[in-house]
Amino acid sequence: MPLIKSAVKKMKQDRRRYAQNLRTKRAMRTATKAFEAEPSFDSMRTAQSAIDTAAKKKVISKQAAARRIKHIARTAKEAGVKIPSKKK
């Protein structure tokens, strides 16, 4: 246990940030596994959104996020997921 006041504060901050990062990672993994179990457009969007959120919060790097999204897109294409077109 640290004795210096700033070290105590840093330890509290680290613990809080670790918990937040863990929640973000868990949400990303859950959404990705849900998509892999049942590929659909909605689950694909949810997984991509969770990955983008993790990258935005710097839990994973931008390159890792791009790689994971690419993998999801490839899986969706192979599974024949229909992407609805936008109406004008």
**Would residue 86 count as lying in a domain?**
no
Q: Is 45 part of a structural domain of the chain?
A: yes
40 lies in a domain? yes
* 53 within domain boundaries: yes
In a domain? residue 16? yes
DSSP notation for the chain: ---SHHHHHHHHHHHHHHHHHHHHHHHHHHHHHHHHHS--HHHHHHHHHHHHHHHHTTSS-HHHHHHHHHHHHHHHHHHTPPPPPPP-
Number of domains forming the structure of the chain: 1
Q: What domain range includes position 63? A: 5-78
Please tell me the predicted confidence (pLDDT) of residue 84.
Answer: 86
pLDDT at 7: 97
Flag whether 85 is in a domain: no
pLDDT at residue 6 tops 90: yes
Tell me the per-residue pLDDT of 23-80, one tens digit each, with 9 for 90 and over.
999 999 999 999 999 999 999 999 999 999 999 999 999 999 999 999 999 999 999 9
Query: Residue 9 belongs to a domain with what CATH number?
Result: 1.20.58.110
- Separation between Cα atoms, residue 52 and residue 42, nearest integer Å: 15
Q: What pLDDT does 85 receive?
A: 84
pLDDT at 42: 95
pLDDT at 53: 97
Rounded Cα–Cα distance for residues 30 and 4 (Å): 39
pTM, two decimals, is 0.88
